[in-house]
Amino acid sequence: MAEQEKIMEQIDTAFHDLESGLNGKTGTPMHAFLKHAYSVLKQIEFPGRKHEDWKYTPVQRLMALPYKLPRTTAQYKVTELAGLESYIIPVLNGKTDVASLHPDLKTAGIKISMLQEAMEDTRLKSIFNKWLNPERPDSNQAFEFLNFTFQSGGFFLEIPKHLILEKPIEIHFIHDDPDVSFSHPLYFVHAGSGSSITLIERFEKNIASTVADQAGLINALGFYHLDHNASIRHIKWQDLPAAQSLVYKLALSQEKDSRFNSLGIDFGGETIRNNVEVELEGSNTYTSLQAGFLAQARQSMDHQTRINHKVPHCESHELYKGIIDGQASAAFNGKVYVHPDAQKTNAYQQNDTLVLSPHAVMNSKPQLEIFADDVKCSHGATIGQLDDKSMFYLMARGISAPAARHILKAAFLAQVLDSMEVEPLRDHIRSRMTLDI
C-alpha cells in the first residue's frame, strides 16, 4: 500500500504540473477527458507481483522513479534506412504535430486528426466508446488510464475505404529529455473496408540528441480497428536506449474477412512490457502475431497476448521466439479464448526460447480456454540451450565457438525475421542485433 501511495504522489505532482500548463484550455472536452481518467486512476491500484498477469513485470520498480512531464524536443532523427520509402509520422515525447506532417500523407488519401478533433466526430464515437470507457476498469488497465490522464498529443489515423498503399506508413516514437520523465503516445488506426496498408512502429533513440542517456518511460497505447475485408501488415521494432523502459499495448478489433499480420522485434530498453489484445468481432478473420526478442544484461521483457474468438470460422496464429542471456528475464503469457459460438475456430500458439546463461530466467505459459466443440486448437512451449551437436558440427569445420554461437542464434530467430517483407528494415534489425550471417 505504501508503494501505491508513493506512485500516486508522483502522478499527482505531474498532473498538477500538466493542468498548470494548459493555458486557458481548462473546461474543454479534452480537459474533462483528462480529469475523468485521473479520477479513475486514483481509484484503481497499479498491479503488483500478486497480480497473475503482471507477476513477471517489475511494476513497482518501474514506477518508483520521480517522473516529470518531458520538455519539448526541438529536433529528432532516427537511422535512415536505404531503400525504404515511407510516409512518416513523428511522435516526440508523446506528442504529434498533425499540422506539420508532410503533405504526401494527405495526397495519398490518408486522413490524420488530432485526438480532440477526432473525439468530436460523430462517425467515430462508437470506436472511442468501445476502447476509452470500459465498464469496470481494474489494475490491468492502470497504464491505460495513466496514458489517458497525461494525454496531450494523440492522433487518429483514418484509412479510407478501398485505399491500397504501396508505401508503408512509419510512426517514429522518440523519448528525449534531460530529466527523468515519461511520455504517453496514444493513437487510433481505423482501416476502412477493403483497404490495405503496411504500418511500421519504430521505438528508437534520437540520434540528433546531445543529451546523455537518461532514464525515462514510454507508455504507448495503440488502438486498431479493421472494417470488413481490411488488411494491415504491422511491424514493431524496439531499440530504445538502455536506461529507457517501454509499456506498450496494442488493442485490436477485427470485422468480417479482415486480416492482421503483426511482427514485433525487441532489442533495447531496460524493462519492456508488451500487451496485445485481439477481439474477433466478425467471421472469417485471420490474425497472425509473431515476435522475436533478444534480452541481455539485466533486461526484463514480458509478452502478454489475449485473442478472443467470439464468432465462427476465424483463424489465429501466434509464434514468439526469444534469446535471453546474462541476468536477463523474460516471460510469455498467451491466452486464447474460444467462446461457445465460435465453432470452426483454428488457433495455434507456440513459444520457443533459448536460455544461454545460468543466471537468465524464462517464464512461459501458453493457455487455451475452449468452450466450443468443433475447433482445431493447439499450443506449446520449449525452453532450451544451444544444441551441443550443432555447435560441435560447426566447430569441427573450423568455425570458432563465438562464431558458431552467433550462427545458431541467428538461425533460431530467422523463422521470425525472414517473414518480414520490408527488406531494408529487416537488414537494419539484423545488423543492430548482430544477427548477420
- How is 182-242 classified by DSSP, letter by letter? EE--EEEEEE-TT-EEEEEEEEE--TT--SPP--EEEEEEEEEEE-TT-EEEEEEEEE--T
* Range from 78-87, 115-124, 297-306, 309-318 carrying the lowest mean pLDDT: 115-124
Does position 347 have pLDDT exceeding 90, yes or no?
yes
- Cell numbers for 271: 524493462
For residue 93, the one-letter residue type is N
Question: For residue 45, what is the DSSP state?
Answer: P
Alpha-carbon span 188 to 223, nearest angstrom? 5
Q: How confident is the model at residue 1 (pLDDT cuts 50, 70, 90)?
A: low
Cell numbers linked to 258: 479482415
Please report, for residues 2, 276, 305, 415, the alpha-carbon distance to residue 292 in angstroms, rounded to integers and kept in the order given.
Answer: 36, 14, 14, 9
Cβ atoms < 10 Å from Cβ of 67: 23
The pLDDT value given to residue 224: 96
CB 270 within 8 A of CB 301: no
Q: What is the pLDDT of residues 261-301, one digit of tens each?
A: 999 999 999 999 999 999 999 999 999 999 999 999 999 99
Give the residue extent of every domain in the chain: 2-282, 388-437
pLDDT band at 137 (very low <50, low <70, confident <90, very high): confident
Q: What is the DSSP letter of 53?
A: G
Q: Which of 48, 65, 55 is nearest to 1 (CA)?
A: 48
The arithmetic mean of pLDDT across residues 18-27, rounded, is 73
